[in-house]
Amino acid sequence: MSPSVLFVCLGNICRSPLAEGALRAEAARLGLDLIVDSAGTGDWHAGEPPDARAIAVARRNGVDISALRARQVTPGDFRRFTHIVALDHDNLSSLRELAPSRATAELSLLLDHVEGQTGQAVADPWFGDEAGFEVTWTQVTAGARGLAQRFSRTG
Ligand code: 4NP
């Protein structure tokens, strides 16, 4: 079975669509067969495209995330995906509360997959400026590389 990864942040318009775009790009580069999606613990932005600043930073780095649309995490996600990767601690806590008893997905923080950054959060760039989105891109790219390396080792 191919690994499948769901990235989860709060709104699904900034961090998790960037992580989705970064891992899709890394999987394509490495020729990895991965299913990648993203969702939010909140539903305020459901149906919306990513934030314009997120689309812009991805585009500057050669990745098009403009067609993604926000959605909220569902109980079924905990069995549909092999890995659910939270962008920060609040969202990881929300996922633990939402997880049905029959959940099979492995939960982690994105930066757990980056050497030396285990247990750290990807800061929310929503209230900040463009520079914050560059930091987010750097972090999600590092996380995506770490995850992709793990999957290329384990198949
Ligand atoms: P995200 O950023 O969780 O990285 O998508 C946010 C987007 C929207 C809101 C908060 C964070 N909001 O409060 O609407």
Atom 3 of ligand 1, residue of closest alpha carbon: 10
At 6-21, the pLDDT tens digits run 999 999 999 999 999 9
Which residues fall within 8 angstroms of residue 62, CB to CB, at 6 or more apart?
25
At 19-37, the pLDDT tens digits run 999 999 999 999 999 999 9
**Across 10-90, where does the E strand assignment appear?**
35-40, 83-86
Query: pTM surpassing 0.95?
Result: yes
Whether 124 is in the pocket of ligand 1, judged by its Cβ within 6 Å, is yes
Mean pLDDT for 108-129 is: 96
The domains located in the chain, with CATH, are 4-154 (3.40.50.2300)
The CA distance from 56 to 54, in Å, is 5
Whether 126 is in the pocket of ligand 1, judged by its Cβ within 6 Å, is yes
Return the number of other C-beta atoms located less than 10 Å from residue 15's C-beta.
34
SS3 25: helix
